[in-house]
Structure 1
Amino acid sequence: MTHLPDVSSLPDLAVTGSTGGLGGMVARELAAAGSAQRLLVRDAGRAPELNGAVPLVFSYEDRDLAARVLEGVKTLFMVSAAEAEDRLEQHFSFIDSAAAAGVQNVVYTSFYGASPDATFTLARDHYATEERIKASGMSYTFLRDNFYLDFLPLLAGEDGVIRGPAADGLVSAVAREDIARSAVTVLRDPALHVGTTYSLTGPEEITLARAAELLTAGTGRTITYHPETLDEAHASRARFGAPPWQVEAWVSTYTAMAAGEMAGLSPDVRTLTGRQPLSLAEFLERPQL
């Protein structure tokens, strides 16, 4: 894209992440509800073709470009950037661009229990992002998502074993479609949700051992859970050749469960959507895209 259209004529709702799982669901549901939107994407060719949607190329870290595509935006749906060592810096740059462009309200996808001393390392980055948004002067709504229910089937290796140092900790995993529906409720009338932090969980707390039982029943695969020690967890992931920050993020996903930081049930999905969130068994019964 060599130039931008006249931004004054563009929708005042901007959505990031529309080429991904969660952002794509949100964009499609907004379009189905008749909400016009700007789709902020890195590659215009990958943007979904939706009624009332205008794709604009941007990047989190290009402040000038981000500020230009955000001019005239009132509400920004900010999906956290792809996991990277400099993700926090990307977030800060984008938030600063949004504030400079005059964005009024940010709806940000954070993580359940985000705090500066969270066991899950990336939850600390989400907390820092929240604080940057608060300090920006823009109004905000935070959607603190628990572990994605959609990812539980992917935890098992080719041998059908889920390995991780989660001990018998509980997780209140939530389906991405429930998060998307919650986000759309907020984005359709953001003034009702300003200054609110929602904790989005599923309807049940389960251990990974119980998840393995439900996955076995729901997928036809034999899935088991092997609780690793920390040393075993680092050793089993070393073969992937990932950088240390990434390995620590993987491992701390499980240790956060062991520490009880992914447990607890919230009514917020039902409050926002009017529907009970999906359980793992219900999720597995649905057609998978």
Structure 2
Amino acid sequence: HDAKIPIVSLIHELPNSYEPEDFQLIEAVSEKIVFPSRFVFDAAHAFERIPESKTTILPQGLLDEGFGTRFNRDQAKQDLAEELGIPIDAKVVLACGTIDLRKGIDHFVRAAQAFFLHHASSVETHFVWLGGGPQHKHTPYHYVAMDLERSQIQDRVHFVGERSNVEPYFMAADAALMMSREDPFPCVVHEAMACGLPMITFASAGGAPEALADGAGIVVPYGDSNAVAQELHRLTIDGEYRDKISKRAKDRVRSVYDFRAYARQVAALLEAAAGVSLDFPTERRQKHAA
């Protein structure tokens, strides 16, 4: 900043992830500050009063534009059924993230408990958590595993660990949960939408409800595992309801969350701040081709 180089800051995390003086410095030196969601903007504004002229809300797009198109759904279901040793026609509820309290591993397990307690169905249902994390004694995983065993549903809830390619797991699922306590604007929401998965998330926990707006997902009160279970039950028995959300999710992620469009908008902010026109590799290739 002292060298008079204009700065555009992209803020992804919530302000409580920063030291107060760090966030104050970001505000002081930035020509423009980009937030991924209204939720993060509001939290930042409450933390540090930022002039409106400096801010913009610009959610990132689906990182991999081909996500949700490369795997056959029936084959993905068969592969997952073989991996877990479950019936191929079982319903699968997926969550994806690190195994910790921030990502809501305990909320995930409570939702499963509520589902099996109150909404026993003729359709066999399994909950799958995709992602790794500590599993030694006295970690969150240690205690939720204890909860599962005492609830006698340990054979219906599966922790499959990290995978280098998560797409086939999303394609094999029937619904998705985003149970984070706080998550600015999680990419897994876009991935679930791209695969046509109805996703259930908490209100007041981050930017996910903004992504799932206009009927592209389901938002329940924060921490309400019974509401999650009830919505899962409805998705299980009401195909028309599920299909409507699935279609809206796929349409919305393709029309609203295009990463190329996001990159162009970020580039426009950089050009405005620097007063120059940026020459991108794709543009150079197009010029040479011409």
- Shared fold per TM-score greater than 0.5: no
Q: TM-score, normalised by structure 1?
A: 0.24
- Larger-Rg structure: 2
Higher RCO, 1 or 2 (CA under 8 Å, sep at least 6)?
2
TM-score normalized with structure 2 length:
0.23
